[in-house]
A and B are shown apart, each in its own frame.
Chain A
Amino acid sequence: GESVGLHLPTLSVQEGDNSIINCAYSNSASDYFIWYKQESGKGPQFIIDIRSNMDKRQGQRVTVLLNKTVKHLSLQIAATQPGDSAVYFCAENRGGATNKLIFGTGTLLAVQP
């Protein structure tokens, strides 16, 4: 898998600031991408998705940017709140019959009050 051990990349931000979490994906054939938020002891929670025919998609306080040229995905969170503190994962769907997800390395977002 894509394991990187126990030390997650960490992003520490002040409450109210904007956060940007980055993700590199591996397969140029992937055509659908999802960002998940995972709080301690819970399952991943869907945040926002984007298809490969788009380069930007906005939700409530969140924006996902997709750069297919360099296989890069980012999640922007506006006005970060303490409740946003969690591990964030990007996942790529390589299509095919199963639509299984391949998860990237998570990023721990720590929001300082």
Chain B
Amino acid sequence: DTGVSQDPRHKITKRGQNVTFRCDPISEHNRLYWYRQTLGQGPEFLTYFQNEAQLEKSRLLSDRFSAERPKGSFSTLEIQRTEQGDSAMYLCASSSGTENTEAFFGQGTRLTVV
């Protein structure tokens, strides 16, 4: 499978715990995005990496959220001290460096904070 891969697919955690999600983009894609999607809404942009550099972060990304892409390949998104409002689908997407090309999404990680 050469698509975007996310792990885990589902995560249930207790409020206050830390969670970490992983995204493996399409191998030749240097652009990587994280989005969050809540029920009934479209995905909302969280953050963007070009290679290993994090170039943009949304206001949605509070101090409890941190994302990395250490070698310019896979990326991780960590949420510290989870809250019930963090429950959502976390989507990763990647695209090539060419402007105006489609972004390919992974299947997402469904987070439930109880």
- Contact in complex: B100, A99 (CB < 8 Å): yes
Measured in the bound complex, the distance between the Cα atoms of B91 and A8 in whole Å is: 20
Known: A95-B99, A102-B45. A6 touches B40 (CB 8 A): yes
Contact of B56 among A2, A42, A100 (CB under 8 A): A100
State which of A61-69, A77-85, A103-111 sits at the interface with chain B.
A103-111
CB-contacts of A24-55 with B (<8 A) = 31-32, 34, 36, 41-46, 49, 51
Task: Output the nearest chain A residue to B4 by Cβ-Cβ distance.
Answer: A43
Known: A31-B100, A95-B99, A100-B33. A44 touches B43 (CB 8 A): yes
- Provide the residues of chain B in CB contact with A91, threshold 8 Å: 42
Known: A44-B105, A89-B42. A98 touches B91 (CB 8 A): no
- Contact in complex: B40, A8 (CB < 8 Å): yes
- Contact in complex: A99, B31 (CB < 8 Å): yes
- Contact in complex: A42, B107 (CB < 8 Å): yes
The secondary structure that dominates the A interface is loop
- Contact in complex: A1, B95 (CB < 8 Å): no
- Contact in complex: A103, B43 (CB < 8 Å): yes
- Residue A13 lies at the interface, judged by CB distance under 8 Å to chain B: no
Task: Output the nearest chain A residue to B49 by Cβ-Cβ distance.
Answer: A98
- Contact in complex: B56, A32 (CB < 8 Å): no
Scoring B39, B48, B105, B107 by chain A CB atoms within 10 A of each residue's CB, the highest score goes to B105
Measured in the bound complex, the distance between the Cα atoms of B46 and A100 in whole Å is: 10
- Contact in complex: A43, B108 (CB < 8 Å): yes
Measured in the bound complex, the distance between the Cα atoms of B58 and A102 in whole Å is: 12
0/1 string, B90-103, CB within 8 A of A gives 1: 01010100011111
- Contact in complex: B42, A2 (CB < 8 Å): yes
Nearest CB of A to B10, in Å: 9
Contact of A49 among B55, B99, B102 (CB under 8 A): B102
| Chain A residues near B (Cβ < 8 Å) | 1-8, 31-32, 34, 36, 41-46, 49, 51, 89, 91, 93, 95, 97-106
